[in-house]
Amino acid sequence: MADLKTLVLGKKDIADLDTETEMPHELMTVNMGPSHPAMHGTVRIVLTVDGERIVKGDVQPGYLHRCFEKEAEHATYTQIFPYTDRLNYVSPMINNCGYAMAVEKLLGITHRIPRRAEFIRVIVSEISRVTDHMTCVGASAMELGAFGPFLFLLKAREWLYTLLEEVSGARLTHSYVRVGGVGKDLPAGWLPKLAARLTETEAALAEAEQMLNLNKIFRDRMAGVGALSREDAIAWGQTGPVGRAAGIDYDVRKDHPYSVYPEFEFDVPVGTTGDCYDRYLVRVEEIKQSIRILRQAMAALPDGPVMIDDGHVALPPKAEAYNTIEGMIRHFKHIVDGIKVPAGEAYTFVEGGNGELGFFIVGDGTGRPYKCYVRSPSFVHLSTAEKIFKNHLIADIVPIFGMINMIGGECDK
Amino acid sequence: MAQKVVDAVKAKFGDAVVATSSEHGDEVITVKRDKLLAIAAFLKDDPAMSFEVPVFVTAIDLAHWQPLGRRGAPDEGTRPAYDAEASDGLRFEVCYQLRSLKHRHRLRVKVQLKETDTKLPSLTPLWAGFNWQERETFDMYGIRFDGHPDLRRIYLYDEFVGYPLRKDYPKDKRQPLVRRPDLVGDH
Amino acid sequence: MLELITSKLEDAANWGRKFSLFSYPFVTACCGMEFMSVAAPKYDIARFGAEFPRFSPRQSDLLMIVGTITEKQGPALRRVWEQMAEPKWVIAFGVCASTGGFYQNYHAMPGADQVVPVDVYIPGCPPRPEQVLDALIMLQDRVQRGDGHSQIRLKREKIMLAAANAEE
């Protein structure tokens, strides 16, 4: 007896259909990007596919190359802060801190930064890290169809942006940190607000987690997709959540401690499988650890100045600049010539939102850097994308990309 | 801590090490170009070194190097000012930053290159992570890495002429690919 | 009389257009974060009928250029704009898309209007969400008045076609 399909379609049609389903075994080239909804920022991928399976993927960054290095060579040390904001625009404070630390290292004033300034830097950096991870998790979830968690996490991010705006005056691109300290002290009554917001953020995060962790669609799309072994991760220089998910127990805050991080207690989450779901779990856990650090830092925040007391580095107080001739000359020299940084080179790295964020600065004794290279984690992580994609389906690019968390400004500099 | 590393490299390779220095907590060794691969392999594979993590590659263009000391006087302490004849035309310095996960030490390996001969053996076969980094250095400085699997521009487009991070490339010299026809014409 | 009817008809069509702008977010850079905020609950661009981003240029009539446009990006932007159906409008979101901002160098383009005509420029680096909503209202006015770049071009083409027909 003929099967149902034949009865419905008839013998001839089924024969035609069968020959049609025999696709010629040929590789096809598919172009993705540079403007594609699933690409954070802009990147182009030229895929060679066998049906739905990716055989080769040529990832081409550079669509947002804004010449950070060339701009930095033409700007004074203080003027570079706005450019660093726009490297990783999801966690600008960490970039600010990393760059400031590199210049301070060249100046040799690392140990003279006021303690209060160090604490404030830790506080704003950790808030930035929370917003970074929230954006990453929320946006990736949205791309996989979960719009709810995106809205929940963005709502929480909005609270934190408002807090950072109160500190720095800008919602997104803060330029708050200065060489030798921070721009200004925390506003009065800010810490209780932060404490309240942290509790609410935790609640929002818990809600988002509830929606995602046991969500079948989310798990199916993330778990087992885009795995990277520990050896490969090391050979490709992976750090941050991507490296930690692959089992590399490396966090700059623990392994090469800087600032006042040794004084805080926090754990470094490490994954086992190195797939997208592990990366997601590592990020969520890091948000919690950041909140833990924030609570400790708020409790231990000392009093005191927030800017180094050194006329070569700090701007004179406004009253002095407006009322005395010496103060005004100093102010003018500071703005026009920049901070005189002695000749030499220094590499400083901090734990950025995505991993090891380093600044390699060569000073030549003038007020402008001779060279200012940034080691951007996104760039390093994106270079593995090609390797990770292989033998996955085209649809898997979305979670892989989301969890690599490539930030255009940082990757392309 | 990494002084041990520098001493070991010096002991093993002797005169292949041109110079060593320690700046702001980073050990720097400058090596000869033809010994780079051997030294790199030693740094990666020797258990006492085990620099298994590639951190970054970049280059320094010394063409405008005129260090100033305090009060604007020429700086004598560091590397002397660049002079094409006196310094043998060694214009570029390629830096490889390495890190060891096991020993927690780090090292910067430098190679000096002449303006006329910017070739260098690629370290991508040793550290896969240097693939894109070397491409970036090629894109920005025009340093050619021999043995690199896929050396082409990464940030800029193929039509771009010149290497923008060289000191003699003007900052705002654009090379447009496309412009609005109605702006170009007499609209 | 006929003219009056067609102009009234045009007004009605423009009224419809201005409250149903389908945007194509050409997101490249930092401003994208603020663009997300504009779409997110607090600022909620949905109140202005422009909440629905279409990720195909053929289905959208508002091109939002969000972020820095570089020389490498230029051809892609131009292509996306050319694929959009008429009438279409363009918003340059942020100072980079408007003039290049403080990126004046060999790879950043001095404003997206080097490649496509822009109707509304939003200053700010990045602009606050309120500014974006303000710009959207400005664009809606412009759509209603019928003096967007592409609307003017369509009108001109119509007049030229009529003149050519009359000559024949």
Judge whether residue C131 has pLDDT over 70.
yes
CB contacts, 8 Å: A42 with chain C: 27-28, 73
pLDDT in tens, A71-84: 899 989 888 989 99
Judge whether residue A39 has pLDDT over 70.
no
Average pLDDT for A260-284: 90
Strands C89-93 and A28-32: unpaired
A38–chain C nearest CA distance, Å: 10
C114 touching chain B per CB within 8 A: yes
How far is it, in rounded angstroms, from Cα A172 to Cα A407? Answer: 14
How far is it, in rounded angstroms, from Cα A28 to Cα A48? Answer: 6
Q: What pLDDT score was predicted for residue A287?
A: 92
How far is it, in rounded angstroms, from Cα C96 to Cα C103? Answer: 7
Average pLDDT for A331-357: 87
In a domain, C90, yes or no: yes
How far is it, in rounded angstroms, from Cα A156 to Cα A134? Answer: 8
In a domain, C13, yes or no: no
Judge whether residue A14 has pLDDT over 80.
no
Q: What pLDDT score was predicted for residue A286?
A: 92
C31 compared with A33, residue with greater pLDDT: C31
CB contacts, 8 Å: C113 with chain B: 180
User: How far is residue A325 CA from its own chain's centroid?
Assistant: 44
A34–chain C nearest CA distance, Å: 7
Average pLDDT for A337-349: 87
Domain residue ranges in chain B? 3-184
Q: What pLDDT score was predicted for residue B4?
A: 82
B184 touching chain C per CB within 8 A: no
CB contacts, 8 Å: C106 with chain B: 164, 169-175
C162–chain B nearest CA distance, Å: 21
CATH number at residue C150: 3.40.50.12280
Domain hosting residue C106, numbered range: 20-167
Q: What pLDDT score was predicted for residue B187?
A: 43
Average pLDDT for A144-169: 87
How far is it, in rounded angstroms, from Cα B43 to Cα B28? Answer: 13
B135 compared with A20, residue with greater pLDDT: B135
Of the pLDDT bands very low, low, confident and very high (cuts 50, 70, 90), residue A1 is low
Which H helix or E strand runs over A69? Answer: helix A68-73
Average pLDDT for A95-107: 91
Q: What pLDDT score was predicted for residue B75?
A: 61
Nearest residue of C to residue B155, measured between CA atoms = C72
Q: What pLDDT score was predicted for residue A360?
A: 92
For residue C78, give the nearest of B171, B175, B178 by CB distance: B178
The superfamily in CATH containing domain B3-184 is NADH:ubiquinone oxidoreductase Nqo5 subunit (3.30.460.80)
* C34 contacts A172? CB cut-off 8 A: yes
Nearest residue of B to residue A243, measured between CA atoms = B53
Of the pLDDT bands very low, low, confident and very high (cuts 50, 70, 90), residue C153 is confident
> Which domains are assigned to chain A?
4-60 (no CATH), 76-412 (1.10.645.10)
For residue C33, give the nearest of A70, A83, A90 by CB distance: A90
pLDDT in tens, A237-259: 888 899 999 988 888 888 888 88
CB contacts, 8 Å: C104 with chain B: 171-172
Average pLDDT for A15-19: 61
C27, C31, C33: which to substitute to probe chain A, counting the most A Cβ within 10 Å? C33
Q: What pLDDT score was predicted for residue A291?
A: 92
Spell A296-334 as b/e; 16+ CB within 10 A means b: bbbeebeeeebbbeeeebbbbeeeebeeeeebeebbeeb
pLDDT in tens, C67-114: 888 888 888 888 888 888 888 899 998 898 898 888 888 888 888 888
A136–chain B nearest CA distance, Å: 23
A147–chain C nearest CA distance, Å: 11
Size of the B and C interface in Cβ pairs below 8 Å: 45
Q: What pLDDT score was predicted for residue A129?
A: 92
Give Cβ neighbours of residue C135 (< 8 Å, ≥ 6 apart).
C91, C93, C120, C121, C122, C127
CB contacts, 8 Å: C107 with chain B: 155-156, 164, 174
Whole-number average pLDDT of chain A: 86
In a domain, C5, yes or no: no
Judge whether residue A8 has pLDDT over 70.
no
How far is it, in rounded angstroms, from Cα A144 to Cα A128? Answer: 24
Nearest residue of C to residue A34, measured between CA atoms = C76
* B108 contacts A347? CB cut-off 8 A: yes
* A380 contacts B155? CB cut-off 8 A: no
Q: Which of A281-290, A334-343, C149-158 has the highest mean pLDDT?
A: A281-290
Q: What pLDDT score was predicted for residue A126?
A: 92
C50–chain A nearest CA distance, Å: 17
CB contacts, 8 Å: C72 with chain A: 62-63, 65
Instruction: Give yes or no for a cis peptide into B67 (omega within 30° of 0).
Output: no
C20–chain A nearest CA distance, Å: 21
* A408 contacts C55? CB cut-off 8 A: no
Q: What pLDDT score was predicted for residue A125?
A: 92
Length reported for chain C: 168
Judge whether residue C49 has pLDDT over 80.
no
A253 touching chain B per CB within 8 A: no
In a domain, C2, yes or no: no
* A343 contacts B77? CB cut-off 8 A: yes
C104 touching chain B per CB within 8 A: yes
C14 compared with A20, residue with greater pLDDT: C14
C154 touching chain A per CB within 8 A: no
Average pLDDT for A214-225: 86
CB contacts, 8 Å: A256 with chain B: 104
In a domain, C160, yes or no: yes
In a domain, C3, yes or no: no
Nearest partner of C56 among C35, C99, C85, C15, judged by Cα: C85
Q: How many domains does chain C have?
A: 1
pLDDT lower than 70: segments of chain B: 1, 70-78, 84-87, 184-187
How far is it, in rounded angstroms, from Cα B146 to Cα A244? Answer: 33
C165 touching chain B per CB within 8 A: no
Nearest residue of B to residue A371, measured between CA atoms = B60
CB B138 within 8 A of CB B153: yes
Size of the A and C interface in Cβ pairs below 8 Å: 94
C105 touching chain A per CB within 8 A: yes
CB contacts, 8 Å: B187 with chain C: none
A35 touching chain C per CB within 8 A: yes
C68 touching chain B per CB within 8 A: no
Judge whether residue A2 has pLDDT over 70.
no
In a domain, C8, yes or no: no
Q: What is the DSSP letter of A108?
A: T
For residue C103, give the nearest of A36, A71, A172 by CB distance: A71
C105 touching chain B per CB within 8 A: yes
* A360 contacts B97? CB cut-off 8 A: yes
Judge whether residue A37 has pLDDT over 80.
no
